Structure formats: structure tokens, C-alpha cells
Structure 1
Amino acid sequence: MKKIILSKLYHKDKNQIRINFEYNYEIKEYVKKHPLVKWSNTYKTFYLPFSKENANNFCVYLRKKNYLVDFKKLQNNKINTLPKKLSPEITSSIDLFKKWLVQMRYSNNTIKTYISMIELFFKFHSEKNIQQITKRDIEFFNDEYIIKNNYSSTFQNQLINAIKLFYTYNTNQYLDLQNLNRPKKSKKLPEVLSLDEIKQILTSIKNLKHKTLLSLIYSCGLRIGEALNLKTNSIDLNRQLLHIKSAKGRKDRFIPISPTMILLLNRYLSLYFPKVYLFEGQANAKYSTTSARQVLKRGLSKTNITKRVTLHTLRHSYATHLLENGTDIRFIQELLGHNSPKTTMIYTHVSTTSLQKIKNPFDDFNI
């Protein structure tokens, strides 16, 4: 029986019901259909407003599908209700920190995440000012807020990054930032699609713009932000090169475009005539990430693929297929824009070609 765990979450200055389950496409789609359920990009979880009535109604809704509902954490998990406002002094410091992040050219997503985390931290320690915070205050916040509210290790690591950067800007000589302990990261392997599954998705999409977008993400191993930030002058059709500008880590790189992709791009450009961005939405604005996800979702719905597939899965699949075709890992690192070869090496663990070359000792038995 499929199990769903309900627990408490403090989000957007309100208590919420957090919905946890081991990834399952059927459960995800059913949960999303509930009129009160929303998705939090901050906590990477589904949730709905906290109330006894909502909890009871949602349990009934889940049991219609015979899902097992565990709501013990909803009953026992204490949430610290935080103040809605920060002191003027803290607010002013956070505003200056935000301006500094902008000046240092951090991405909008990073700035938004770090600011929300710093605000959360200081709401928890609302009785203290910036210079009074100690290492023990950070550990206490981890114990009494992050752990008790069942937030992920990724969230905890991001919080530590945000605090360290905040105090790099707002110097506190008494705060020992070097020895802040971090939780161990889970070592999850990326989901990878086969070549046949990639073809299923791309051939299921009839809209030329949508097909070109997903094809380019896969054929060049792009992050979704990189694809949507492409401008019409990012493509050199004569040299068959794609110029990625100011990608993650503010790095530029060139990626070769396959001849088949060139043909598809030419068809797309001759029909749509984008003005600024290669992929444009309404009023010539940049195409949105939400719209791109919907394109993939509709494509997947027309296939028999049951894996957990995101736009980033296309990038993982591109890298894995390159490795399986014999491409040197150093070239793959360059194409993906990875700083460290260690990041790229993860694809050696999901390459079926590499795994199939391993001789199983059981083959030496004559049974």
C-alpha cells in the first residue's frame, strides 16, 4: 500500500500541512488535483493550509485511492510560530545584504532563497541582534526548527551557506563560521532516459516551438535557465555552435549543435521569427519555466514512461548518452559547464554501457 506522510510546515508566515511521499507519478498527479494543494519551490514539497478540517478532508480524499495516511507527525510535530515582522535594524541589514548580493551578480534565484532564509533565521531569534548571534544559536535553530519541522538536508545546507555569506558581509568577529557542521548529503543518482524514451517524448510533441525547445535542451545538455535565456544571436548556424553566456558560476561556454538540430532550428526560426529571446512567450517576453515544464508534462502524458522525469532529466540523459558513446569525461565536463570533474563523474554510475562491461562472478558457475 502506498504511504503518504503528513507533517507540519511553517511557510509564508502561516502553519501549513506538508505532504511527503516516495516519488510516484500517480500519487503526485492525484495530490495536485486537490483544490487546496500548492507546491513550495522553497521547500520542494506539496502543502495545504493547516487546520483540523483540512487535515480530515484531505485524509478522506487520499483514502479514496486506498493510500495509507500517516499523520502522527501532524499531531506531535511542534511548529515554532514565528513573528511576522523583523526589527527595523535587522530589516535594514538584510536590505543592504540584498543590494550587495545584486552587486556581486548572484542569480535572482539565489538572492531570493538566501534572503528568505536569513529572514526566517532572524525571526526565530527575534530577541537578538546581528552581533549577538553565536554558533550555538545556529545549532539551536537547526535542532529546534529545521529538524523538528522535518526540513531536508539540502535546505539545512542552503541555510548555512546563507548565514555564512551574510556574516561575511556583516562581520561578526565572535562568530566562528569555519567549524559549522553540515549534514551529510544523500548520494542520489540522477534519473536517466533511454534513447528510445527521449524519442517517444520528442515525437509526441507536434507544436514546432515546443519540440525545438525540448530538443535543444536534450541535444546540447542545457539547464532550463540556460535554454530560456538564449537570445537569437546566441546561435551561430554557420559554425554550428551555441554560445551559452553567463551560465551557472557566471561562465560562458560554446556547445556544438548537431546537424539534425540545425535543421529543426532553421524550421523554427523561419516560422516564428523570435525578436530578442530564442524562445518567446507573450509580448516577446522570455518563455517561462512554468510553461516549459507544462510542455514536458503534456509530452510525457502521451507516452508510457513512468519514470520521474523533469527538464533536468534531459540534461542528465544527454551526458549519459555521450559517455556511453565513448566521449571523454573531460569533454563532457566542458560541454555541461561543470567546475569540477567530480560532478561529471556521477554519470559513470548510471551509464549502462559501463555497468554491462562488468563481469559477474556468477557467470563462472556451471549450474
Structure 2
Amino acid sequence: MIGIKFSPDRLIQNLIKGLPNPKWSQHYNMAYIENTKANLTIIFNTFKGVVWINYNRFLTNRPLNTNNESIDVEWYRKRKPIPQFRCCPEEYLLKLELKKYANSTVRTYVSFFEMFINHYKHKELNAINESDIRAFLQKLIHRNVSNSYLNQAINSIKFYYEVVLGMPNRFYEIERPRKESKLPKVISKEEIIAIIENTNNIKHRCIVKLLYSSGLRRSELLNLKISDVDSKRMLVRVKDGKGNKDRYTLLSKSTLVDLRLYYKEWKPQDYLFEGRKASKYTAESVLNIVKKSAAKAGIRNTVTPHVLRHSFATHLLESGTDLRQIQVLLGHGSSKTTEIYTHVATNTFKNIKNPLD
């Protein structure tokens, strides 16, 4: 049930009477209705503009990130103060730290939120309202920023008011840009082979092969430990993937052969791919490896690690692999995310006769 606890108020009591089949609990001393998604929406629409509604108990809490990556928040605290610059408030940094957000998320949220509060540097944070936020977002739109950029700005602002201050629905009315429906970029198997053949060394070769043959995200590749390669079962274990989910994906035979040669030559200590002094390999290095190998192979289109992942999924679909199996290998939470590859797989079009022919 949805329990509705409130201070005595005739207006609220009358509004509750208009809800679907409301009842009163003497034991809990509160009104209640059936817990359904539709009823949650009805409650919000009924009380919108009248009272604040705390939905926290009915929203799924995201699991804390439990990996061993150190959260780099202290850096923001120790920065040298810049004259006339408004820094991110301590409670914002503390909440990011306590919720163990990934460093990339911390950097994004702090950067965008500081941009926002410096736009209103002469205004107290609690005095900023929805109209001010819309004006700030409008300014970003006039700069022709991408939808992704705009959404990141919105998320950083919502994080302060909804998560830090605990007002989960204050900015429900802030409009988000319409979601873009873009098809994934895919290259052919022949182009994949050409990229692999144009890598500089065995380490670069293994990186490109794993990105493609296991369908890994760049961050997942960087977090791989030596023990995550299961040569007996021919699987790669992905720990703390997107959404803090673990999964297994495929390990190809040719990649395993190259990985053994790489291990003998480079002798990594902890992570499968390491930089200088056994440090974690950087995302920029992986991107450069893929781009330079693709350029040497004569591929005109821009190739990124994610293009290799898209190609892995598409080529599996074209070879007859079940969509549900591809979803598991990619670590997608929803089958709808995986279904996008049906729009670029060539077998979707092979049985259609062109009217000109």
C-alpha cells in the first residue's frame, strides 16, 4: 500500500477523498491506497502545486558502487580558490562521495553544477527557482549544445535539489530534450580484420581484439584483471560493468593465443592492460590505438572502441544469434536497447526485393 502521512489540513483531506478508494489505518494513523504505478502518478498530479511529496520509499535506490576505484572528490576540496568563482558546496561533494559515484560522474556533475551556480553567483542557492533553471538551460540551447550535454547539466542540478537536499520531485516540470534515435555505427568484418592487422604491437592487437570479440565497453576493458580471463571456459568476466552489474562474455580462441603471447612479453602485474609503473591504462590510450589502427587500415569513417562493440553485436545478429543472448553478452538491462541492432543488421534487408530490380 501507499501510506499518506500528513499534518492535519482540510484541503489535503479533501484531496485524499478524491483518490482511488482511499482508506484510513488506525494502527499507522495515516491514509492509504493501493500501491500501483498509476496511483503514484495520480497522487503526484493531485497534490502538485499544493504540497511537497517525498517519493523516496517508492523509488528504486540504485546500488552503491562497490568496486575498489578510489573516489576522487578530495581534489575538488583542495583546489586553490579562484577569485569571483563559486565552488561546489561541501554537501554536494560529500553526497557524491558517500554514494560512491564513479570518478567520471563526479567530474561531470561538479563541472556542470559549478557552471550553473556561477551563472547565478549573486543569488543564494535556495533562492534559485524553476524559472531560473529554465533560463540557464535556454542559454545552453542557444549555444547549440548536444542533447547529451543538456541532459548532463539537468542531472547535475537535479542531483543537488533532489538528492543532496532530499526534495525528490521539485523539478519534475523541467523539460528534457527529446530523446534522439540514432542508429549505431557499424563496420564490416573485413574492416575489423584490417584494423587488427594494422596495430603496432601485440598489446594493441589484444586490446582491439578484446573490444570487438567480447563486445566490451572501453571502461570494462580497462578494469579487466588477469584473473578475469577464463581460458578453460573461454569466457571473460566483466566486473562492475555499467549499472554496477557483473556478467560473462565470449573469449575468442585467436584472442586467447595472442593474450598468452602478450602476457609473456609484457608481464602485467594486476590489471590485464597496464601503463607505466604498473598503473591503470588510460581511456585516451585505448581510443588512440583504435583510431590510429583504423586510419592505417585506410578506413575513412571514424572508428572508436564503441563502434567495435556495436559491430560485435551486429555481426552476431547477422550470423543468427538470438537477440536475448546478445543482450546478455552486452550487459543490456532492457531488450529494447539491444533491438536497435536489428535496424542495421544486413539480414534484415536481404530478403526484401528492391523495386528497381
Q: TM-score, normalised by structure 2?
A: 0.73
Q: Which residue in the other structure is 2:174 paired with?
A: 180
Select 1:123's aligned residue among 118, 125, 150: 118
Counterpart secondary structure, 2:271: coil
Q: Deviations over 1:211-249 (max 9, x none)?
A: 011101110000111101111111111222211111111
| CA drift at 1:172 | 6.9
Give the match for residue 109 of structure 2.
114
Identity among equivalent positions (%) equals: 41
User: 1:118, 1:163 within 8 Å by CA — same for their partners in 2?
Assistant: yes
Residue 262 of structure 1: how far off its partner (Å): 1.6
User: How do 1:258-277 residues align onto structure 2 when only pairs under 5 Å count?
Assistant: 258-277=252-271
* Structure 1 residue 190, shift from structure 2 partner: 1.6
SS in 1 for 2:249: strand
Q: What secondary structure, in the 3-state scheme, does the structure 2 residue paired with 1:200 have? A: helix
How far residue 174 of structure 1 moved from its aligned partner, in angstroms, is 11
Of the three residues 154, 158, 165, the one matched with 1:164 is 158
Pairwise CA distance, 1:192:
0.5
Structure 1 unaligned spans of 5+: 1-82
Q: Give the alignment of 1:123-272 within 5 angstroms.
A: 123-143=118-138, 145-171=139-165, 176-272=170-266
Equivalent residue, structure 1, for 2:281: 287
5+ residue gaps, structure 2, are: 1-82
C-alpha distance after superposition, 1:228-284 (max 9, x if no partner) = 111111111122221111111111111121222221212212222210110111101
CA distance in 1, matches of 2:328, 2:289: 28
What secondary structure sits across from 1:189 in the alignment? coil
- What amino acid is the match of 1:85? F
The structure with more radius of gyration: 2
The one-letter code of the counterpart of 1:142 is L
CA distance in 2, matches of 1:232, 1:172: 42
**Which 10-residue stretch deviates more, 203-212 or 351-360?**
351-360
1:164: how far off? 1.4
Q: Find the aligned partners of 2:157 and 2:352 in 1 and give their Cα distance.
A: 45
**Equivalent residue letter for 1:120:** M
Shift of 1:303: 1.6
Aligned to 2:338: 344
Aligned pair in 2 of structure 1 residues 336, 328: CA closer, same or farther (>3 Å)? same
Distance in 2 between residues matched to 1:174 and 1:235, nearest whole Å? 42
Q: What one-letter code is carried by the residue in structure 2 that aligns with 1:112?
A: R
- Measured at CA, do residues 315 and 265 of structure 1 come closer, stay the same or move farther in structure 2, by a change above 3 Å? same
What is the distance in 2 between the residues matched to 1:266 and 1:351? 33
How much has 1:108 moved relative to structure 2?
0.8
Most deviating of 181-190 and 208-217: 181-190
Hey, what does 1:330 align to over in structure 2?
324
Aligned-residue CA RMSD in angstroms? 2.0
Task: Name the CA distance, whole Å, in 1 between partners of 2:289 and 2:169.
Answer: 47
CA 1:206–1:121 in structure 2 vs 1: closer, same or farther (change >3 Å)? closer
Pairwise CA distance, 1:361: 4.2
- Aligned partners of 2:323 and 2:339 also within 8 Å: yes
- Give the strand-richer structure, 1 or 2: 1
Return the offset for 1:291. 1.6
Equivalent positions of 1:302-313 (< 5 A) are: 302-313=296-307
Q: CA deviation at 1:173?
A: 5.3
Q: Residue by residue, what CA displacement relative to the aligned partner does 1:53-80 show, whole Å, maximum 9, x if unpaired?
A: xxxxxxxxxxxxxxxxxxxxxxxxxxxx
Per-residue CA deviations over 1:75-122 (Å, capped at 9, x if unaligned) read xxxxxxxx8411xxxx463x3222222221221111110111111111
Change (3 A) 1:151 1:84: farther
Partners of 1:175 and 1:85 lie apart in 2 by 29
Quick check: 1:133–1:175 contact (8 Å CA) kept in 2?
Answer: no
Partner Cα distance (1:173, 1:289) in 2:
36
Provide the C-alpha distance between the structure 1 equivalents of 2:112 and 2:133, rounded to a whole number of angstroms: 12
Tell me, in whole angstroms, the C-alpha distance in 2 between the residues paired with 1:180 and 1:235. Answer: 45
SS at match of 2:176: coil
Letter of the structure 1 residue corresponding to residue 99 of structure 2: M
Q: For residues 201 and 131 of structure 1, do their structure 2 counterparts lie closer, same or farther at Cα, with a shift above 3 Å needed?
A: same
Instruction: Return the alpha-carbon distance in structure 1 between the equivalents of residues 192 and 170 of structure 2.
Output: 49
Q: Is the 8 A contact 2:95 2:164 kept in 1?
A: no
